[in-house]
Structure formats: structure tokens, C-alpha cells
Structure 1
């Protein structure tokens, strides 16, 4: 590249003696860093060139773009060719100092340049040691934050497992309680159906007895009617001789065949206040059932909190961290 034909001296500002930064072109054809020329003019009565003292009427001289591009190319090639981070990219000198104001390593030439005028410096090793101590404290804080975050994440995971366990256990208890209610209703249903069937059997036995009695009455009436019909067909003398006995048999009367209402099965005996009575029984039994379930639940949760239950593995690590003051 073209920059290789120029030396560092050719590309250095006559004021700061560093590589040009945004060089401006003066009327006398000399170039100076834009910042350097403004500083130089601040102390002068006339705007003159720091090299030849030629005067300039322009307060803002134009940028020397060609020279600026040349300087940038020169610095880029110098950095890539050196490949050493311990060497100053501007002066190609070893970085031995640390600028406390700009917070960057500098060489001895940088220290004496105007860019670092009135700045504070210290040796590289001291600056590195001090900054490492600062960074070490920050690193320890970050490590502590990481430990707390890890413990908190573990606690959240364990809490999620606890929630899952509690939900599953509560669901199991609900199913058990409703199974007891279902079983109670099934037992109550079976008891009441059995009562209806027992009453049905009693009523049927009563009906069989009445049917048998009625059958006998029908047979007796049939025989009486047949005998009377035969007497009416007999000779007059024979009819009159047996008339009195036949008349007595003809005056035979049967009991009222109408069934008594008490014989029938009534719905009200089995259905009146059915829901209320069942609910009352459920309420009477609910105390013992609920107390039993609650006692079982409390016993299990007591074991869990004491670390002796089946879910101890869900909280052991968190409790240990809590006891050790990590959380």
C-alpha cells in the first residue's frame, strides 16, 4: 500500500508529534491536527502556521482528507504488523504506564504527549493489581448472587414439586371422601330396597292367605248353590222336608271382599323425607369420617415437616440450605 512509502515522522503532527488525527490543510500547505491548531491559535494574536508562521484568514481550515486516510491506513498496518498488544499502536513503544484519567495503558511517549497533559499515571503492574482487586470484589459479589439465584431456583423447583404432591394428595383424599359418600348412599339404597322387598314379602304372604281363604269360600258357595238347585228340583214332599235346612244354608253371607288400605304398600312410607333423612344420617356420620381423614392428613404432613415422611426428599435440600443460612 502507499502508506508504506511514508515514515512515522512524515505522518506526525508538528505540534503534538503524534500521528495526525483529523489533519487540516493550512494556506501555506502545512498540515496540523484540527485540535492542535485550535489550541495553538488560542495562545496567539494572529492565526499563523506553527511551522512557517504563515498567516491564515480562515478560522476553520479544510480537512486534509488524503492525509487523514493515509494516517489511518498507516496505523492499521502498524497494528496488524506488530500483533503485540503490549506495544503502543501509535508510538510502537512498550506499554509501561497506565493513565488513571483515560483508564488505558500508555507508553512513555504517550505520557509526554499533549493528549495526556496533566494526567495521572501509575506503573502497569500496580494498576493491574489494583484493578484485579476491584474486579475480584465484584466477582465475589457476582458469585454470591449466582449462589443465591441457584438456591432460589432449587427452592422454586422444590416448591413446584410440593405443589404437585399436595394437589395429588388432596385429590386422593377428595376421591376417598366421595367414595365413602357413594358407599354410604349405596348402603342406604340397599337398606331401603331391602325394607321394601321385606314388606312386599309380608304383603304377598298376607295375600296368599286371603286368596286361600277366598278360594275355600268360593268352593263352599259353589257346593251350597248346587245343593239348593238340587233341592228345588226334588219332589214337593222332599223339598218341604229339607226346606228349613236349605234356607239356612242359603242365608250364608261372606265377609266384605274390599281390601283394607293397610294391605297396600304406600310410597309415602318409604319416600317421605327420604333426602332429608339420608342427609341427616350423612351429617351424623360426617363428623367421624372427616375427623378421621383430617387426622390422617395432619399425621402425614407432620411427618413431612419433621423429615420422616415419604416426601422428605422434596424439602431436605431446601431445609438444609435454610438451616445453614444460605437462603
Structure 2
């Protein structure tokens, strides 16, 4: 939190949404609310009252609480700065910022690591570029998995229709085989779906440094894409 913010965080929270004030306005009773929160409250009430003390408000558009707005903006800025500082992971060996990404070992390293024997002859790139490349590769992997999912789904549909039409005489036996195939294919589709979800979460939800640190495991997970149409072809 910024040093300019001395009030407890609860004193900077709107009584309606319980979140940090956004564009706060001040009522004559001295209570403040987010401008949108107050307007929504008034939209559901026949009277323009304070949501806390029920005192009538004389103005349809109450004035902005600029002092409170400045405090809340300082708080939000402090959160952003704290988050940025928290994301600066240091090298466990040298205590330096992890500014580079080793393309050989697929891991973030510091400048000291790059100069050491372990990474001296390895190609390294800035972590910002590596993070962007990782995201692009993850997007391509996600697209490939989705394409495989669609292909598997279409194969299952076509195969089911063809087999049901051709195997009427041995209905019980063949339906048993078909159910086994459907179960196996469904398990494969579920695996692909879960893989896409995990990769998407790791790609969009993680910070750049976390993405880089888990990149090798993410790629290995993506390569295990489960059964495909070729696993079913030739099944009698």
C-alpha cells in the first residue's frame, strides 16, 4: 500500500458493494458510496435515501468525494506496485533477478547463471520475449488439441452410424463393442477437454515468470493428448 494512505482499508470500502470506492460521491449525511452503487440503489427505491442511515438526499446528483477518491486511487496503485514487486522472483543460487530464459534447459536464469559453466554455451533470451513465445506456442498447442477433439468427435459419430447400419444381425455383440469404443472415445475427449482447460489456465492466469518456470511441464502435458482416431481404426 502506498505510504500516503493511512486509513484502514475497511474505511475505504463502499458500504453497498464492500469493495474499494470507485468514483465515490458524498451525501449530506456524510456517508459516501460508489457513484454507480448509489444510483443502482436509488433505481430500486421510490425515495432517494442514504443506504446506511435512510436520510433523504436533497440532490439527484450528489457531489464527488475527491479526497476519498484520491485515497482509493493511491491504495489501488499501491496494490499494483506490491504485486509487481512480488512477481520479481530471484535466482536461488545468486539472488539476482531472473532476466533471461535458457532455451536449452527451458528455465529462467539470471545473468550470473548465464555466465556459469551450466549455461555458458546455451542460447538465452530475455524473459519478456520468452514469455510471449511460450504463450504463442501454448496457443498453437491448444488449437491442435481442439482440432484433434473435433476430429475425434466426428470420427466417433461417423463410425457409430456406419457400424450400427452394418451390424444388425449381430446386434448384441456389436453393440457391446460399440459401447466399449464410445466409452474409450469419451474418455479421450474428456482428457483432451481437461488438457485444454489446464493449458488455458496456465497460459492466461499465471504471471509471466510462473508461466516460464512451469513451461517445460506444460509442454510435456500437452504432448500427452490421449487417444486419437487412429487408436480406433481397425477395431472389429
Q: Say yes or no: TM over 0.5.
A: no
TM value normalised by structure 1: 0.26
TM value normalised by structure 2: 0.36
Rg larger for:
1
Structure (1 or 2) with the greater helix fraction: 1
